Amino acid sequence: MGLNSTFRSGYVALIGRPNAGKSTLLNRLVGEKIAAVSNKPQTTRHRIKGIVTKDDGQIVFVDTPGVHKPGYLLNRRMMAAVHDAILSVDLVVLMRDASVSTGNGDRFVLDMVKNSGKEAIAVLNKVDKLKDKEVLLPLIDMYSNEYGFKEIIPISALKGDAVDSLLSNIIGHLPQGEAIFDEDELTDQPLRILIAEMVREQILGKTGEEIPYVTAVITEKFDESDPKLTRIYCAIYVEKPSQKKIIIGKQGRRLKQIGTNARKQIEELLQNKVYLQLFVKVVKDWRNQERQLNELGVDG
């Protein structure tokens, strides 16, 4: 790639409302599962870098938490991470779910990106859900005429539709320059965080509305002393004993299922056999505690 004189590189922030599909796109582009994905809003809690290297350029994507109204300290930190990401990148990719109608939340994100003055392109995601592609036309009209976007690209992050052309389009917007990271590097996330996120993703998938917001996962021990079996111990934080009961489930069945599914994913990640032990801790009001959030690695 050094031979190519027009190699481009830079940082690109993925910005959008919760559930737009930002992390789904990140995982697809990177080609590995590095970010948790779920149908619950606010799945992503901190900035995650995903690195994509092509013949003609390298993109360092910055996945961010979905833009929402902050209540807890946790959420304020999440939104600070979004603002920082916008300001620190070369290009913003503003993503939205094109299968739901425009709401105040969409306008809020649009204004936020517009007011930042950053170069931005719009991505209309989940086109696979549209029975009638004509519904894209008024959206494209609004994004181009009202908000001045020059590029508006409909995709399906889930199915991969138009994702390659999005990638070339993004590279075209980046400044000329050498690769920032080694081409075999995929993410900045330490192994301990990737593991904790795989456990958290299983919890989000297996519990109802309340639990996702009161749960955090931390990898407390990572023991590689036996080369044939990696031993991992993760703590699951909740805020109340009743929430602990929900996660554990009847006769421990839910926690066991969460553990089995997460272990399979972690084995794939590590390419090794894994023993995974999960335990649930009640920590009152952790979402408002400076120290707990620091320990959990939520951007401050």
Ligand X SMILES: Nc1nc2c(ncn2[C@@H]2O[C@H](COP(=O)(O)OP(=O)(O)OP(=O)(O)O)[C@@H](O)[C@H]2O)c(=O)[nH]1
Give the residue from 236, 193, 212, 213 showing the smallest Cα distance to 72.
213
- Kindly indicate which of the ranges 23-31, 145-153, 202-210, 269-277 contains the residues binding Mg ion, using the contact rule CB under 5 A: 23-31
Minimum CB separation from Mg ion for residue 230, in Å? Answer: 27
Q: Taking the CB of residue 248, how many other CB atoms lie within 10 A of it? A: 18
Q: Which does 205 bind (CB under 5 to 8 A by kind): ligand X, Mg ion, none?
A: none
State yes or no: residue 154 binds ligand X (CB under 6 A): no
Stretch near Mg ion under the rule CB under 5 A, chosen from 40-48, 125-133, 141-149, 263-271: 40-48
Vertex 274 angle, CA 244 and 195, to 5°: 55
Q: What's the min distance (Å) between Cβ of 17 and ligand X?
A: 7
Looking at the Cβ atoms of 170 and 274, the one nearer to ligand X is 170
Interacting partner of 42 out of Mg ion, ligand X, none (Cβ under 5 to 8 A depending on kind): ligand X
| 97: phi then psi, degrees, rounded to nearest 5 | -80, 110
42 CA to centre of own chain: 9
Compute how many residues bind ligand X; rule: CB under 6 A: 24
From the CA atom positions of the chain, what is the Rg in Å?
Answer: 20
User: Token pair of 228, please?
Assistant: 């044939």
Beta bridge partners of 9: 58
Q: Which tokens belong to 120?
A: 């931005």
The whole-angstrom separation of Cα 43 and Cα 83 is 18
Q: How far apart are CA 298 and CA 14, in angstroms?
A: 18
- Contact between 50 and ligand X by CB under 6 A: the answer reads no
When binding is defined by CB under 6 A, the residue of 122, 152, 157, 193 that contacts ligand X is 157
- Separation of alpha carbons 123 and 106, rounded Å: 13
Smallest separation, CB 228 to ligand X (Å): 34
Give yes or no for residue 24 binding Mg ion (CB under 5 A): no
Tokens standing for residue 87 = 């300001």
Among 9, 12, 33, 38, binds ligand X (CB under 6 A): 38
Residue with tokens 């920590």: 283
Binding mask 103-132 for ligand X (x = CB under 6 A): ----------------------xx-xx---
Tokens for 98, please give them.
């094109």
Decide which of ligand X, Mg ion, none touches 18; Cβ closer than 5 to 8 Å per partner kind: ligand X
- Give me the phi and psi of 291, to 5 degrees please: -65, -40
With CB under 6 A as the contact rule, the residue among 9, 10, 12, 16 that binds ligand X is: 16
Residue 202 interacting with ligand X (CB under 6 A):
no
23 makes contact with Mg ion (CB under 5 A): yes
Query: SS3 of 99, please?
Result: coil
**Out of 27, 43, 215, 292, the residue judged to bind Mg ion by CB under 5 A:** 43
Any bridge partners for residue 153, and if so which? 123
Residue number, nearest CB to ligand X: 66
By CB under 6 A, name the binding residues for ligand X.
Answer: 16, 18-24, 37-39, 41-44, 65-66, 125-126, 128-129, 156-158
